[in-house]
Structure 1
Amino acid sequence: MVNVYNQGHGYYTKHLGENLCVNHHCGDYLYLYNNAANAYSLEEFDNHFVEFKNKCPAATIVLEHDIGFEKWSRAHYPGNRYDVMTTNIVESLNAMLIDEKEYPVASIFNLITKRFGELFRERHTYILKSMDNQMVSAAEKIARKKMIEGASLYVENIIGDGNQFIVFGAGVTAYVDLLEKSCSCR
């Protein structure tokens, strides 16, 4: 059971599952292990783990006592994975924009642009402070120009229906239709 791959904060559930199949012959019930490993709440985890425990008791002893839930279970993990609240990018964005979700779509686009601009500027400042040597001057000029261009983008709703927008800035105007999944630039 020691042939698992450590990812820094926990074990890859896929490789751990493969080891469970080989060493404990519980391949028919591996879906129960995966359900427990990927559960977000403790209650959901407990339901799946108890069911897995009924089918493969020897494997669950290893998972519970030898490895520990916090090493492979999302619900029991004590910290943030990869420095964010979740590995799901949509959930990360929802958490970041929780107050803005109730705004009209055009306002949300503008707020997202502003928020990402702030994050990029913060990270850029952090990198510059932590670097022993400066970026190559040409790359620095390009990065600075792109940051300024990104900060100047603005979104407007064309006819107020929430589907058609104009995005303009940095010398470009783009018409976006969310229903048509199209974009045209001028």
Structure 2
Amino acid sequence: MAFLTNVNPALAAYLNEADPTLWSRVYCPGDRYNIKTSNIAESINSMLMKAKGYTITYLIEFITKKLGRWYWKRREDALSLITTFSRGVEFLLALREHYADMMTVERIDGWRFYARGGQRDCLVDLEAKSCSCGVFDVEKMPCSHAIKAVKSSGWHMSTVVEAYYRKDYVYASYAATIIPNVEHDPIGPNIRCIPPIPKQKPGRQKKYRWLTWLELSRKNGSKPRKSHKQYMLVQNADSLDILNLIV
């Protein structure tokens, strides 16, 4: 915010007047993740490009089969994990542990620690699962300061990481099986979706034809957009001979 104030004070004042819980992940009372849902929607739309334009039944069967393959692939991926947490979480914890080894920690009591090093010195509370840097509180995953405190206390890392990061939770997210519809033969992609026949209103139907650009310009009372070629008027035969020589 200090950097933003130096760059654009008006924008910083606007954000201060607004409710920080609506735009700041730190002050959000719930669990807000750094995921752009619009990108997921665009991915789904691109996946449905092959099925658009066909009948509704074919579109539903296409979505059902695609989701079934996705769920099966992710279930198999979760079962193949040999670590406690998912691959992304394990990679992030290993990266933060590398920086935690460069820090020093001072024990205050049975739960609280004071970690020194990194960009700032922080107070870690393992009972409340919080750190003064704010990362531990928001991500529900230990930061480098908390990892240093956990290693110094002899605790296991699974005691401070939220349970929904474990591999069994990843498997449970895709445990449901999606069964395709087998009551009738699948509709092939060669059947196109025909638009419905609209109901005609009573009375004589009006018929209009497409007007040309010149008719539209005259109707609107404006000059035509197309520029006409200018021709020179020949006054006598001598001028005509000169034009013939030029051509």
Q: TM-score with structure 1 length normalisation?
A: 0.33
Q: TM-score with structure 2 length normalisation?
A: 0.26
More helix by share: 1
Look at both structures and tell me which one has the larger radius of gyration over its CA atoms.
Answer: 2
